[in-house]
A = this chain, B = another copy of it.
């Protein structure tokens, strides 16, 4: 059983602002991340899958298939976008890196079987580095 991790990058902007809170509460809560004009990051996303190697190929998965899936579900919709304004789920959910990781996880999980129809590999976890100092991880089985 192996874990295979592939790294992707995209640049995007966002603003942390919770709809149910007052302007002042948002300012206190998120500090400079609440700046109404937004700010941005170069997000680094590590997608990890696990499984046995295919005996014939010696590989856990064909990385080209993973690239296609991630391009369609993540890089296409998120690259050079404003997450609040252009990604539907962030209309009602604050685009913190935790929620971003969960959303990426949900998208890949939902479409996983179109890329990998067999029992293996399984999507295992998503890791997002928002900056080199702030890192967020979620395991697939913790997201419905």
Contact = CB atoms under 8 A, between A and B. Distances in A.
Interface of A: 1-9, 11-14, 16, 18, 20-21, 29-33, 35, 37-42, 46, 53, 56-60, 62-64, 79-82, 85-86, 93-96, 98-99, 101-102, 131-139, 142
* Most chain B CB neighbours (cut-off 10 Å) among A9, A95, A137: A137
The A interface is mostly helix, strand or loop, or mixed, namely mixed
Given A39-B11, A39-B82, A79-B32, A58 B1 contact: no
Contacts of A30: 57
Contact of A135 (B4, B58, B137): B4
Given A80-B33, A98-B53, A98-B59, A136 B39 contact: no
Contacts of A46: 135
Contact of A80 (B6, B32, B136, B139): B32
